[in-house]
Structure 1
């Protein structure tokens, strides 16, 4: 059976990859969208058409192709802004979420930024969580090393929830940076409560929304966030394009992250002045076609409906948790219920390394899952395991594919019996 929220068979026809066969005639069972999603024809053809018929650099050329390319690029910004309830001038295109997170971290403790909200030094604190992707850990470690600030974090409970202990956010906290949804546990964090705590302490809050924006309706104002980062390749868009949303007044206060063409207002030999946001943060030739592809991805997801996608994934996750619960010696790492949970399920099989699990699932059953620490090694260390197997679901997946996963896992256990 499949959730009735979506016409999944029709949706699958929009994605060319599902028409192919793997070696030996095996069908593709793609359960790795938390890593990177597949792409619909709308995105593929929009990018192909722009490259073939409209391509030119943006914001520079005074000719028809230049105007068409600029209009399409800036039109994509409008689409992304509307998708998350933002103003277009608050949407900065980056190459991925990692760059967006680094851009924000660069502004703290930077001598070029005299805004007291961004000053950082010894005695000040940066707060993250134990469940973060490395992209939301390493930039803050580097910032702490540069400035002498203290890096702190919320722990994770045995159930895969944040331990929201008092005393982690204090009056010394300057920035709180947290995943909206965990890429390993599937946990949807209480970010509105964290934003309240951060703002009461006088701190700013950044959300890594790479795992939430593709799957749930997201309104940046409703989340009460100051910064939100996400990426295109997880939301049926291309790689090489990401987004930083930030409140306009904060973008105005932040120094440029990269210097070059198009981010300037005027240049002299001894100094420069800068364009207003968002262009202040988009130095050089941007990922033009990728941004346009992201705009097409927004069109596609909007056409399907984020509420329907969320309901479909909720049904898949319910089905997967029940089905995996019947597999002997399988342990789910993360919440066992649907409460505040997304469509990512990570697990271990007792006595079998996840790399072996993933290889057999792929070689024998055509089931594509992610294995390893998923760029979240500290989280795995917290649970005392080196790695997990992760199945992550999206709008094109079916309960039949979850059945294929479970059959494969039973076979893996027989191989290692």
Structure 2
């Protein structure tokens, strides 16, 4: 079953990759002359069909892995992040069936592809559930929360497209800088995936010791563990590593490894972004803006809002209501101010504010779009930052 699941997983990955290429070809190979916010070219049609193929095969990958393990496969970082990618693509397929805006896939497909690739960075082994996860609430709470986050991601894609369509990047310097930074954040995640998978494909490993014992690094250890010796672990490009140790106030056993990952992400993202910027010879947001010029801004604004209106109650049920019921059963308390719980509350409050400003204060257009874009950063920290950086009751998700 696991081998079959891997085949389906690989098929889904290459389907999303093919769909991304088709969408890029469809947007860059001819000028957009869309009516009613649609761009139903040959390329985007086939991109949509291939995304459907990817959703079906990834659904089969999740099902076969679940049959093998005997539980819904959302218990570790590989399983959860790949499931999140699945919900993003599934949400796009359903929403596009109603709104007929296939060009949205040009933004959604790369997001789903990169998140699925990011999931591949983590170990894929299917291990028995630890006692804290042995509950039917795992199926209800985690899958519903992921579905809500997937739908909210569609709001981000539509909001970003709205800003690119309506903003004159040559005149509004502040907005242009924020949009360029948003584009840079995407390449930050992409560069981390490329760097991590590249070193893993090369079989890179380095053992680093410190006060907390010994930890195996899969990236060159620029940062060592607290109490470890500098320059005594390994060499990379002639440099004795680690160059420095994690500060003492970072008490987690893998604090040095976490800080090392962050440092490598920053370095690789600056290199990738710098190369692409040099090739384009202008801000990347301007390049992307040329692809979407001509789309119906009002439709994109409405689509971004509708995605929040649908995703918000789903996220509320999964990440808060069901989570608190399970917490009471597992830990004897509805709320423990665990970092994951707290940031889920922050995310919920953020989208509550979005709906308040949209419905009560009349925030539409750019104000609403910026909130949708910033909301995706909030979700990313909930799913990535909290799990990998902050220790708490949900730290088992790192395994």
Q: Under a length normalisation based on structure 1, what TM-score does the superposition of the two structures give?
A: 0.24
> Which one has the bigger helix percentage?
2
**Higher RCO, 1 vs 2 (CA within 8 Å, ≥6 residues apart):** 1
> Which one has the bigger strand percentage?
1
Q: Under a length normalisation based on structure 2, what TM-score does the superposition of the two structures give?
A: 0.25
